[in-house]
Amino acid sequence: MEDLTLQLVTVGTLSIVCQYLAYRMKIPAILPLLVTGLLIGPVFGVLDADAMFGDLLFPIVSLSVAIILFEGALTLRLSDLSGHGVMVRNLCTIGALVTWLTVTLAAQATLGLSWQIAFLFGALVTVTGPTVIMPMLRSIRPTSRVANILRWEGIIIDPIGALLAVLVFEFVVASQDALQHTLVAFGMALLSGLSIGVAVGYGMGVALRNNWWPHYLVNTAVLTIILAAFALSNLLAHESGLLTVTVAGILLTNMRDVEVEGILEFKETLSVLLISALFILLATRIELASIVDLGGGVIMLLAVILFISRPLSVWASSFSSGLRWQEVALLSWIAPRGIVAAAVSALFALQMESQGYSEAAILVPLVFLVIVVTVVLQSLTSATMAKLLGERSPPPIGILIFGGNDFARMLAKEMMVHKIPVRVADTNWSSISSARMEGIATYFGNPMSHHASNTLDLEQFGRVLVISPYKQINPMVTYHFQGYLGKECVFALTNNEQEQRASHQVSEDYAKRLNLFGGGVTYARLASMVAKGAIVKTTRLSESFSDTDYQQKYGDRAVRLFAIGKDGRLNLYTTKSQFSPKSDWQVVSLVMPEAKVAPAVAEVSLPV
């Protein structure tokens, strides 16, 4: 027992280390997880998932995949499917079908797989997934239209591709008997999955809408009900549970007046843990010799997936989309496979091996090989490809503001006047609602969440300004985006905490980031000025009205915020600002009325 406990703790620790390395190196987490699993498994023989769990391995993998697919289904809003154009819909329907058929034919022709295994493999590799797409988009910086298509394809194709794999699996398993039995088994799986999924999804939606559960029980209740529905569906119809949880998630997230953000955030946290541990454990089961035994045929199969299947599916999906050939070409090259393909392949391989399909053992190493090749090759070459095609965006100039208070909204509106892309994020609905009423682009929720990375289009932001009164959250937001964008791109207001008692002082490294708008400019001071009638004002400098004249006119009445140069570039005022506004520059400041000069030490109570 002690050995098993140590092994489980080791897997959990390695999972966190891999996730952190991926975060720091800005690479898909799937790569360090895979390498770690291979090293502690087949290379050094430290861990063996089969020996650790025995007969429990299949139920553990099965329940984990159910949770992962339910979380993925919660991101599938039908409005998103239609809101991003014909191309996204086509890629998730026509494109998925083309990929499935071409990869199936190639797998059968190059490796001599049976048609059952070939069809299942083809279904498994239709999915890409946001966990691998998002880190690539940050480094590639494709144009916004290409980035949006890839992002939403990754989100939407996960549950759709998994659903296709479930249906193919049901057909393959049932097809070993007579045609009549096959049709009955297939129909039962569809009936069970759809009916239970709809009933459970709708029932949970009604419960959430009417607040039948106390807040602290919501996440636990949803998780328990989903796992119970998964098990019940499997009991009624073989392996229909994955269809059940996918349908339930899609229905729940698309019901009116049902908030799923809290559930989604909880499921995201759980999914990160499950995905990390699951991927390491599954990688320990890979036999390196089985990959070598695939021979030269696997190289031909990979070539078909990279150079024929994906371009053909994109081309077939691009009719009536209005895309230029350069955009189609770039989309044709970027299609890395992700964790859902790995998890579902392992689940089906375990199940089929137990039913006598010895050939199913090839599924896991083959899918893992496709993941590694697509992620590594496309990560290394896609930025160059985008540049050659003229589809690489310049460094982003957008501003993400964390904080939707009165001053932050005034600042955002002035940036919009100067044609600077800006978005306000806040966890307070009242602030976000006010920003929306003023025509400001917003994000309601935690900007550090997985949901935000999927839907916020973070690639458009070059800098983050932390202007919220939330003293506990601000450091976390600052550190998060430092790792995402770099330390030189994240700025926050000082709070003068270094002047307080030692227990309240911040770290020296964090204090260096507290330099927005210059020393001594706190949220409290800005809020006080706004409450006393201060406005955000733009002043153009000229030969007759220089920066010195500006200082003499406004003096302590103005807090300088940013300046716009002749080239239209935004220059933020910080304690380390090294620019001097010249003639034809525009200086933007928060200016007090002449009769209401705010003392520099003015403070108001801060919410906590």
What confidence tens digit (pLDDT) does each residue in 123-142 have?
A: 999 988 766 787 788 778 88
My answer on whether 381 and 426 are in the same domain is no
Is 18 part of any domain? yes
My answer on whether 402 and 282 are in the same domain is no
Is 604 part of any domain? no
All residues at 6 or more sequence positions from 157 whose CB lies less than 8 Å from its CB, including other chains: 91, 92, 96, 126, 127, 128, 129
pTM for the model: 0.70
Q: From CA 576, how far away is CA 190, in angstroms rounded?
A: 63
- Residue 279 clears pLDDT 50, i.e. is over it: yes
Q: How many domains does the chain have?
A: 2
My answer on whether 361 and 467 are in the same domain is no
Kindly report the CATH number assigned to the domain that includes residue 97: 1.20.1530.10
Q: Which of 349, 366, 388 represents a domain boundary (last residue)?
A: 388
Up-side HSE of residue 370: CA atoms within 13 Å toward CB? 33
- Residue 99 clears pLDDT 90, i.e. is over it: yes
Q: What is the pLDDT of residue 21?
A: 87
Burial 460-488 (b: 16+ CB within 10 A, else e): bbbbbbbbbbbeebbbebbbbbbebbeee
My answer on whether 382 and 493 are in the same domain is no
- Residue 157 clears pLDDT 90, i.e. is over it: no
Is 210 part of any domain? yes
My answer on whether 377 and 421 are in the same domain is no
**8 A C-beta contact, residue 15 and residue 273:** yes
- Residue 369 clears pLDDT 60, i.e. is over it: yes
My answer on whether 368 and 424 are in the same domain is no
Is 289 part of any domain? yes
DSSP 94: I
My answer on whether 345 and 478 are in the same domain is no
My answer on whether 179 and 281 are in the same domain is yes
Kindly report the CATH number assigned to the domain that includes residue 475: 3.40.50.720
Angle at 534 between CA 529 and CA 538, to 5 degrees: 130
What residues form DSSP beta bridges with 492?
A: 466
Q: From CA 285, how far away is CA 346, in angstroms rounded?
A: 10
Q: What is the pLDDT of residue 303?
A: 95
Q: Which of 343, 360, 388 represents a domain boundary (last residue)?
A: 388
My answer on whether 403 and 378 are in the same domain is no
My answer on whether 360 and 404 are in the same domain is no
Query: Which pLDDT tens digit goes with each residue over 483-497?
Result: 778 888 899 888 765
Per-residue confidence band for 600, with pLDDT thresholds at 50, 70 and 90: low
Give the Å distances, CA to CA, from 545 to 364, 558, 559, 571, 584: 71, 16, 18, 20, 10
- Residue 541 clears pLDDT 70, i.e. is over it: yes
My answer on whether 369 and 481 are in the same domain is no
Instruction: Give the residue, 564 or 28, on which the prediction is more confident.
Output: 564
Question: Hey, how many other C-beta atoms are within 10 angstroms of the C-beta on 207?
Answer: 16
Is 118 part of any domain? yes
Tokens 């896991």: give the residue.
Answer: 364
Query: Which pLDDT tens digit goes with each residue over 432-484?
Result: 999 999 999 999 888 887 777 767 777 788 899 999 988 888 888 888 888 77
Tokens 């002043």: give the residue.
Answer: 539
Is 374 part of any domain? yes
Q: What is the pLDDT of residue 505?
A: 54
Per-residue confidence band for 502, with pLDDT thresholds at 50, 70 and 90: very low
Q: What is the mean pLDDT of residues 58-68?
A: 81
Q: Residue 562: helix, strand or coil by DSSP? A: strand
Q: From CA 28, how far away is CA 134, in angstroms rounded?
A: 8
Per-residue confidence band for 601, with pLDDT thresholds at 50, 70 and 90: very low
Print the domain residue range for 562. 398-591
Per-residue confidence band for 598, with pLDDT thresholds at 50, 70 and 90: low
My answer on whether 458 and 555 are in the same domain is yes
What residues form DSSP beta bridges with 563?
A: 571, 587
Q: What is the pLDDT of residue 402?
A: 94
Is 601 part of any domain? no
Is 413 part of any domain? yes
Q: From CA 603, how far away is CA 608, in angstroms rounded?
A: 15
- Residue 419 backbone zone (phi > 0: left; psi -120 to 50: alpha; other: beta): left
